[in-house]
Structure 1
């Protein structure tokens, strides 16, 4: 045994005498203990926490933590897939990398403000469009549920996800991951970790990932979900002294994919047809995130500064009628630049008082160009609608004169129709131009926070926290619409051009106090504890610029009876109405939670259990724009309630040869005060959704996995591991009226690994039962007829991965 191995063994012994593990550069090896034990990953996978004073399972909150080995065992490749193994959490795999919806504990939405924050190596990701990215070279992932606003601010109402890259100071060598699977899945990842000296280390890596896709567009013949993506990552670690540490990270990723493979859904049977749009929707995105982290260990305090720059530029084209018909499609180009700065002071002295205080600021520039194109069949549809309205008005007017002369209404209507047709009838041709849109939406966020924990006794700890959060959102827009209609009325032809220009600027500011109170009681010396906590969560308000095409089309339709060219005027009152229509308020919630973190059976089993009750005010919901049913918008429901339980178990058995885990979440999320106005036969009708389930939120989330390792005495093959996993979700309602849903479903996977030391060969399978289910569904009336559309979950898939370290 060389000197490095002896030193690593000594460090492992100091960290945990029960663990009986050694760490050589690049690869942990665990020796067989006398009895099976499961270890606190927060002790084994140590990462810097600039804010928290205690390890994750010692804090008064519900959480899960995953190591890189656990993620490999579960065969998860990004956060969407990992979310299936977290109770009460859903990040569905649908649409494209653009769509990053996260639902937790009954809250969440598809657009605008997220309910869950994501931190990568201490850097907060500001853009929801950057949440969905390829994950690689990770050390661990933490998922914390419940409002985290005191320490992390707005848009963490449902929790946060913290992702940590491997630290080249602690891990050296070169990792190569190769993957190949059915549907021409292919994956290449290469990362090199180098500790140049005791003061400086770096890692550099890159990846390529692609797949031909599972679904074929029945109209175009293309693969509707084919994708290719690649990128690179750099990390520099500099520790000039024992007190000073500097970390620099830079991550670039590019993706190009066909997306949004939605097919017509039969709501009664739950069966979804293949996508069949006449245009193949697609998405392209460039993201570049970089951050500089500086930390200093002083006498009595730790100081941490994190400065980041985030860049996103993307393009999306979506066929938004989702049909073979050529009604409409839209484009969207986002260009975002953002900077963040966070300063944190944390006490580091032992005693009864533990404290953290800090300040946060961010500014985000965003320009969005989002034209909506109305195609031939939309022109025909609008022309027919206007023609029929004009024709019926003429028939009623002429029939009124005939009835005054003594005819019955039936005779008068027939006479009027005959007279109109004999004189050439009525026809209408409409040419609806594309609706351009230019939107600037800068956002400012500032926050100051403090959290203190007091050891009231040697077992009881109280936590008090408060944050002041200020945000300012602004919208500057310019958009217009033009409709040319040519009417032929009983031989007389006339052309009318309707135009509408909307141009304005507006802003809103919001202030919030985000308090937190928690109590934690340590049951025994093994770390088991019980806790209770009360905290406030907050999601920022903003503006719905996605729905301007709907507003403009409503205006044109309302003025379609004009007999000459007409430029629709707009008064200050009109703009006030638009401001009211497109703005949505912040969502706030109070979360009441009690739970426990238990180490059972001589630390062979860990149990985490939580029960919560949430009161939500101004709940933000993503719905289709009301009049025409295209263009998503955010609205506020009045009040909602959510309650549930979350349980996670993980353990070891048979001298650590068997590793297993299981989790379950139950969520009861309902509206308590939400009234909407729906159009019924041309008139608005109020509909109450009180006590209806909140859409897109799974009522049940369940997952389980087990891995059994067989040690091999041969020098070449060290061990064989066989594993299986299952995850399930449901029931999931797709609309506020709860008219259609996805029933509970489960998908199963398995893997078999052969460990040759420097090389691990893994055979895997996903959705082995080929379960048919939907990950997303929506109602749309963009064509004048109401349809339900859905995206199917991926069917069965097999593959092989090769992981190498040298």
Structure 2
């Protein structure tokens, strides 16, 4: 197999691409004499695409496609499981369903607007808070890498993920899937697909998924990552007349979980401790997505209408100091309603000009209630400081009257002493509606029978609003020698502001077919865009700063911090961040080698990014995350994917590799050194959260049997690896390269029953999926989430016709 891969690499070199077909024909007779053949997966799984005129491997872009068989073999339960097998794509397990940080080619986001788009059965998911969900009964998944803004809009700067569930017109029967594994993982799915007649089909599906968790919170003894989730899906498909298809989908999911199992990381020993927090993080979410897709096939063109309504309601509690002492924790409740509507016209002729026109609109209404709670770890030192200041002032006053220090202290204690209690509350409510409108066109022109040019242009407009009602209340209760006084220091910010962003997104691509087998080379230039917005996560930091700077005013009585127009202008400038734009230059090839026994995809790219949006800890105190802009950065790399079949289709195999170099070119920030603000430059530092290397390999071999009951046994193995990954802008903390191995053995009893024994991370590799630095207690510490350890399980699948 190594010899074949080396030959494929040699053929994929662009300068000799035109001779690849004849060269592979000669080697085919020597190296691969069997009758194995591999087909383009997006041709095997037929899915109607309302925008593209060509299959993915005939387009000038990099992509990966996974069928239901591959998703099942890899034990994919959500996109985080799939990311390991896609070049340049990372979406680690970050500790809860609310976290859906995805990075493709060094472009990504932990908070606010996503950089990678997601579609499910034609519905564009508006909120990244709904990206991380349980996937089941999928037919296939496409992952498109590089900017897809021309056809898919502003939040697809890094790439696009498209998921498709099974179509009841094409697939019928009842599926029952049951699973159990160590750490009491349990899973149950039931789905029924029925084609009632030629014009109506439906499917109904439901699932339950749960796990007791891998990591224990040593403070409480409770599992820090246990969860339970369930959901259901209904799909109704109508063909009222021959050229019209109506597809109605409603999908609901609920999850309740303990989350954020971050433990302290010791860089000297390279050991991450179990979580140890006085507040156990948890998350609860309800999501409901309803979509209506209509396709009308006409003479020479097709019309598509895609409508959706998306509802999200969730509740999160997180201990953001990650320590057993109560410094602070936050709550967050979100209520979102979003509507999208898209109309598309696409040609369906055999002419040399293929085109797509469309208009897209969306409106998102989002209310966020995000109180911050300050515990004794913060309030007690404040109270002790005020109490000591009051007591020292009183002692000094008595000493001026002739008493000694000891006598003054005794006198104060005799008269009732001095004590101070401090409490801080930060209630916050945010309304952040957004409106987006886009117009787009893309043409593919066959210049010759082998050369195709693609020209695209999109105009995107975004209107973002924020209404913040945020306040910090410091209540100080003083008991001074028998007398009690209560003073309140209040800072209240209540204001509205908005901004508008617009962008033209061009795309130019060329695809040249180098053989009749479908092999091609391509070049593309495209622009990516992510709208700007407002940080709501950092208001506690702003308000805490105001309380500290006005604390002396409250010593003489209750005090409300005044705010003028100039103050609100400064707040608006502080919380806003700019749009991010990028230019992507890409060369690549899609090769079908050895009589289609091997497929090879290779690409190299360079991205220039302006105002890259980065998630960092809020500046003064590090309470909450905020989005900032790096002036300039770049990302370049290579991607390689191979897949094939051998031994008369008994063996399926795949391999991927990617290298990503994402660095800052112009990024300066202000940090505190010895209490003073100092400018620091991150030029040539690596962008955090982006692995420099990633690779994967899979192999499945089928042994046919002569037994009537047991028709075949499949033995498979997989391996993936990532690293080096930096966790901060200064590149002081990182995860070195690691690899994990999985395996499975499947017993197939015809089409009716399959029993699968599987293992994940059977090497029990120790690694971190995420790390963050905190100095809430005055000591700089690193907290990390560990990757899941070894796990073994068994699945049983039934299919009833």
TM above 0.5, yes or no, is yes
Q: Conserved in 2, the CA contact under 8 Å of 1:754 and 1:762?
A: yes
Whole-angstrom distance in 2 between the partners of 1:38 and 1:496 = 76
2:673 to 650, 673, 680: 680
Q: Conserved in 1, the CA contact under 8 Å of 2:188 and 2:209?
A: yes
Q: For residue 4 of structure 2, what is the aligned residue in structure 1?
A: none
Question: 1:417 and 1:535, CA in 2 relative to 1: closer, same or farther beyond 3 A?
Answer: farther
Q: Report the secondary structure of 1:452's partner residue.
A: strand
Q: For residue 536 of structure 2, what is the aligned residue in structure 1?
A: 545
Given the alignment of the two structures, is residue 69 of structure 1 paired with residue 63 of structure 2, yes or no?
no
Q: Report the secondary structure of 2:607's partner residue.
A: strand
**Deviation per CA, 1:105-154, whole angstroms, max 9, x where unpaired?**
11112100111000001100001110001101110000000000000001
Deviation of 1:72 after TM superposition, in Å, equals: 1.0
Q: For residue 271 of structure 2, what is the aligned residue in structure 1?
A: 271
Q: For residue 219 of structure 1, what is the aligned residue in structure 2?
A: 219
Given the alignment of the two structures, is residue 518 of structure 1 paired with residue 512 of structure 2, yes or no?
no
**Deviation per CA, 1:330-386, whole angstroms, max 9, x where unpaired?**
111000001000000001111110100000000010111111111222211333455
- Unaligned stretches of 5+ residues in structure 1: 1-32, 403-415
Question: 1:741 and 1:420, CA in 2 relative to 1: closer, same or farther beyond 3 A?
Answer: farther
Whole-angstrom distance in 2 between the partners of 1:169 and 1:530 = 36
1:567 to 550, 560, 569: 560
Q: Report the secondary structure of 1:433's partner residue.
A: strand
Given the alignment of the two structures, is residue 556 of structure 1 paired with residue 547 of structure 2, yes or no?
yes
Whole-angstrom distance in 1 between the partners of 2:418 and 2:560 = 23
Whole-angstrom distance in 1 between the partners of 2:145 and 2:236 = 31
**Deviation per CA, 1:53-107, whole angstroms, max 9, x where unpaired?**
0000000001000001011111221111000100110001122001000011111
Whole-angstrom distance in 2 between the partners of 1:530 and 1:419 = 91
Q: For residue 709 of structure 1, what is the aligned residue in structure 2?
A: 702
Q: Report the secondary structure of 1:277's partner residue.
A: coil
Whole-angstrom distance in 2 between the partners of 1:454 and 1:588 = 27
Q: Conserved in 2, the CA contact under 8 Å of 1:468 and 1:511?
A: yes
Q: Conserved in 2, the CA contact under 8 Å of 1:596 and 1:608?
A: yes
Q: For residue 502 of structure 1, what is the aligned residue in structure 2?
A: 493
Q: Conserved in 1, the CA contact under 8 Å of 2:34 and 2:646?
A: no
Given the alignment of the two structures, is residue 480 of structure 1 paired with residue 474 of structure 2, yes or no?
no
Q: For residue 724 of structure 1, what is the aligned residue in structure 2?
A: 717
Q: Report the secondary structure of 1:108's partner residue.
A: strand
Q: Conserved in 1, the CA contact under 8 Å of 2:343 and 2:360?
A: yes
Whole-angstrom distance in 2 between the partners of 1:329 and 1:466 = 46
Whole-angstrom distance in 1 between the partners of 2:408 and 2:249 = 74
Q: Conserved in 2, the CA contact under 8 Å of 1:430 and 1:483?
A: no
**Deviation per CA, 1:558-592, whole angstroms, max 9, x where unpaired?**
11122322110001111011001111111110000
Q: Conserved in 2, the CA contact under 8 Å of 1:254 and 1:287?
A: yes
1:467 to 450, 458, 471: 458
Q: Conserved in 1, the CA contact under 8 Å of 2:580 and 2:612?
A: yes
Question: 1:490 and 1:704, CA in 2 relative to 1: closer, same or farther beyond 3 A?
Answer: same
Deviation of 1:321 after TM superposition, in Å, equals: 1.3
Alignment of 1:122-161 (within 5 A): 122-161=122-161
**Deviation per CA, 1:166-223, whole angstroms, max 9, x where unpaired?**
1000100011111000000000001100000011100101000000000011011111
Q: Report the secondary structure of 1:638's partner residue.
A: strand
Q: For residue 611 of structure 1, what is the aligned residue in structure 2?
A: 604
Q: Report the secondary structure of 1:43's partner residue.
A: helix
Whole-angstrom distance in 2 between the partners of 1:453 and 1:748 = 42
Whole-angstrom distance in 2 between the partners of 1:210 and 1:768 = 21
Given the alignment of the two structures, is residue 782 of structure 1 paired with residue 776 of structure 2, yes or no?
yes
Q: Conserved in 2, the CA contact under 8 Å of 1:421 and 1:490?
A: no
Given the alignment of the two structures, is residue 695 of structure 1 paired with residue 702 of structure 2, yes or no?
no
Q: Conserved in 1, the CA contact under 8 Å of 2:178 and 2:795?
A: yes
Whole-angstrom distance in 2 between the partners of 1:417 and 1:702 = 71
Whole-angstrom distance in 2 between the partners of 1:142 and 1:470 = 27
Q: Conserved in 2, the CA contact under 8 Å of 1:762 and 1:802?
A: yes
**Deviation per CA, 1:385-418, whole angstroms, max 9, x where unpaired?**
55678999999x99xxx9xxxxxxxxxxxxx999
TM value normalised by structure 2? 0.92
Deviation of 1:429 after TM superposition, in Å, equals: 2.9
Q: Conserved in 2, the CA contact under 8 Å of 1:423 and 1:490?
A: no
Q: For residue 204 of structure 1, what is the aligned residue in structure 2?
A: 204
**Deviation per CA, 1:654-695, whole angstroms, max 9, x where unpaired?**
101111000011000000111111112221111110000000
Q: For residue 635 of structure 1, what is the aligned residue in structure 2?
A: 628
Whole-angstrom distance in 1 between the partners of 2:657 and 2:405 = 66
- Unaligned stretches of 5+ residues in structure 2: 1-32
Given the alignment of the two structures, is residue 55 of structure 1 paired with residue 55 of structure 2, yes or no?
yes
Given the alignment of the two structures, is residue 533 of structure 1 paired with residue 527 of structure 2, yes or no?
no
Q: For residue 726 of structure 2, what is the aligned residue in structure 1?
A: 733
Question: 1:332 and 1:608, CA in 2 relative to 1: closer, same or farther beyond 3 A?
Answer: same
Q: Conserved in 1, the CA contact under 8 Å of 2:84 and 2:90?
A: yes
Given the alignment of the two structures, is residue 772 of structure 1 paired with residue 763 of structure 2, yes or no?
no
2:420 to 411, 429, 432: 429
Whole-angstrom distance in 1 between the partners of 2:649 and 2:149 = 38
Question: 1:67 and 1:393, CA in 2 relative to 1: closer, same or farther beyond 3 A?
Answer: farther
Deviation of 1:421 after TM superposition, in Å, equals: 7.2
Whole-angstrom distance in 1 between the partners of 2:407 and 2:454 = 83
Whole-angstrom distance in 1 between the partners of 2:392 and 2:533 = 42
Question: 1:639 and 1:422, CA in 2 relative to 1: closer, same or farther beyond 3 A?
Answer: farther
Total equivalences in the alignment = 759
Alignment of 1:617-656 (within 5 A): 617-656=610-649
Q: Conserved in 1, the CA contact under 8 Å of 2:379 and 2:424?
A: no
Deviation of 1:740 after TM superposition, in Å, equals: 0.9
